[in-house]
């Protein structure tokens, strides 16, 4: 079962986070918390994303517009990585001769 964190637990866990920053991140759609009966809750993946957002804003001084672009690119890269993983699984499910031909075709310049 996945662990979810309330707003207060999230703020306590991510020590650089304030309630105002969390509200801004959700309003700017940098985060999409799950809605529970008790209000919004955040997953471990959300907490990692919050840490990344804090790093990008504090260490690189990214403003909201630039931050939105960077997060969008990271999300796209993550999606492509998942697709590539599925392609590799499909190749691995093929007979050995097909795998060899596909991998040889991929290594051609």
Quote the pTM value. Answer: 0.80
In a shared domain, residues 73 and 95? yes
Question: Domain range holding 74?
Answer: 64-109
CATH number, domain containing residue 1: 1.10.1660
Residue 101 has pLDDT above 70, yes or no: yes
pLDDT tens digits for range 71-98: 999 999 999 999 999 999 999 999 999 9
**Containing H/E element for 36?**
strand 34-36
Mean pLDDT of all residues in the chain? 95
In a shared domain, residues 51 and 70? no
In a shared domain, residues 30 and 44? yes
Closest CA to 3 of 50, 45, 43: 43
- In angstroms, the CA 94 to CA 109 distance is 23
pLDDT tens digits for range 23-59: 999 999 999 999 999 999 999 999 999 999 999 999 9
1 pLDDT band (50/70/90 cuts)?
low
């Amino acid at each position: 079962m996945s662990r979810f964190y309330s707003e207060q637990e999230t703020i306590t866990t991510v020590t650089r986070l304030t309630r105002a920053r969390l509200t801004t991140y959700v309003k700017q759609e940098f985060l999409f918390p799950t809605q529970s009966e008790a209000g919004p809750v955040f997953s471990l993946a959300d907490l990692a994303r919050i840490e990344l957002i804090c790093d990008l804003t504090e260490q690189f001084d990214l403003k909201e517009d630039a931050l939105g672009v960077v997060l969008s690119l990271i999300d796209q890269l993550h999606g492509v990585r998942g697709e590539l993983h599925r392609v590799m699984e499909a190749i691995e499910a093929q007979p050995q001769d097909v795998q060899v031909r596909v991998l040889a075709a991929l290594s051609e310049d």
